[in-house]
Amino acid sequence: MTSYLNMHLALEQRREAAKAKGEQGPRVIIVGPEDVGKTSLSKILLAYALRQSRQPIFVDLDVNEGSITMPGTLTATPINQIIDVEEGFGSSATTSPSLGSSMLPIVYYYGYPDPGENVKLYKVLTAKLAQSAKRRIAEEDDSRISGMMIDTSGLIDSTGYEIIQHCVDVFDVNIIIVLGHERLYSDMARLYKDRSNINVLKLAKSGGVVDREKVFRRQVQMRKIREYFYGLPKFELSPCSTLINLNDITIYRVGVGSLAPSSALPIGIDRKVSETQLVKVEPDDTIRHSILALTAANSPDEQTLLESNIIGFIYVYL
């Protein structure tokens, strides 16, 4: 814990220097394998910053759990209130004013539990999220000085390295914290040795970190989904039910869910499938018990739909 406090003090020095020079504060990304405490470290550093009257932007790129909204989402939100021990980041204030802590994040829907399942889509959405976060920083001095804290997934294979480098570039990261993995630290230090504006730092994982089984991870996902609709135990929400004419809505899926084998294609014909292609879904029994994301797009243009942020979610049960 002492090393985490020292990290906060170093970040606070960066913020004071940024304030004096009229520059941006530290833009920190925390990387490492699964179950080393990346989200916990994010909360600790954010809480320290709040106690210094800072208002950093928290960016959650871990699509497996969803710290603020739903699993499968990429979010960014200014942190302006202390993170509750029981509630964590609280809930997103999308249903009604809440008596508990609530966030107003900007959300992009990825829809997979693993960034490696659709790398192209993940890159498109992280780039859009970065634009939104940097726009917020440009508009508010408090956010500009306080900087960003970026939490990531535990993917550290070749695909994970590609995604980390992409995120560093689009978010203009200047501090990379490698948590609990010596080889990853060495690789990051080597990759950015010629980038003098980027510091690669190493921290040991907390002694309280434990490995989580897949069953437990799934339980966490289900709990987050329930919390989105029904709130937290102390501050409950009341989701409404309504009937919708299926002719009034249009449902899309990103990418193609199932494909015929390449051997079934005509001779000389190559498969042409885009990872970001929108496929219209006909409403039928297959969408029952599904969660659909509601887009804020004001145009049916494919690129607009793909890059639009999300205004909420609906659960289909009939």
CATH code for the domain in which residue 288 is found: 2.40.30.330
- Mean pLDDT (the chain) is 87
> Are residue 216 and residue 189 in the same domain, yes or no?
yes
Q: What is the pLDDT of residues 42-66, one digit of tens each?
A: 999 999 999 999 999 999 999 998 8
Q: Is 8 left (phi over 0), alpha (psi -120 to 50) or beta?
A: alpha
Is the pLDDT score of 317 beyond 50?
yes
pLDDT of 102 reads 55
The rounded percent of the chain whose pLDDT value lies above 90 is 54
- Of 37, 28, 10, which Cα lies nearest the Cα of 205? 37
Helices 158-170, 182-191: inter-axial angle, 10-degree rounding: 50
Question: For residue 287, what pLDDT is reported?
Answer: 86
Question: Of the candidates 4, 314, 315, 2, which has an alpha carbon nearest to the alpha carbon of residue 149?
Answer: 4
Q: Report the distance separating Cα 95 and Cα 84, nearest Å.
A: 20
10 within a domain of the structure (yes/no): no
β-pairing verdict for 57-60 and 73-78: antiparallel
Tally helices (H) and strands (E) across the chain. Answer: 8, 15
Which has the minimum average pLDDT: 79-88, 191-200, 201-210? 79-88
pLDDT computed for residue 280 by the predictor: 87
Whether 11 maps to a domain, the answer reads no
**Structural domain ending residue among the three candidates 236, 262, 286:** 236
Q: Residue 128 is encoded by which pair of tokens?
A: 């859009």
**Three-class DSSP category at 200:** strand
Compute the distance between CA of residue 84 and CA of residue 160 in angstroms, rounded to an integer: 31
Dump pLDDT digits (tens) for 151-202: 999 999 999 999 999 999 999 999 999 999 999 999 999 999 999 999 999 9
Tokens of 262: 């390449």
10 residue type, one letter = A
Are 147 and 268 contained in the same domain?
A: no
Report pLDDT digits (tens) over 239-296: 888 888 877 888 998 876 544 444 555 666 555 556 788 888 888 888 888 999 999 8
Let me know whether 232 and 252 are in one domain.
no
| pLDDT for res 241 | 87
Structural domain count, the chain: 2
Overall average pLDDT of the 214-236 stretch = 87
Is a pLDDT exceeding 80 seen at residue 310?
yes
Q: How far apart are CA 148 and CA 171, in angstroms?
A: 9
Which structural domain, as residue segments, surrounds residue 299? 246-316
**How many C-beta neighbours within 10 Å does residue 145 have?**
23
For residues 35 and 118, state if they share a domain. yes
Q: Rounded mean pLDDT of 84-104? A: 58
pLDDT tens per residue across span 96-132:
455 444 568 899 999 898 999 999 999 999 999 999 9
State which of 205, 236, 267 marks the end of a domain: 236
Task: Please name the residue ranges forming H helices in 243-290.
Answer: none
Q: Are 303 and 276 in contact (CB under 8 A)?
A: no
Domain match, 206 and 97 both: yes
Residues 203 and 262 in one domain: no
Q: Which pLDDT score is estimated for 23?
A: 92
Please tell me the distance from the alpha carbon of residue 58 to that of residue 74, in angstroms, as a whole number: 11
DSSP annotation of 106? E
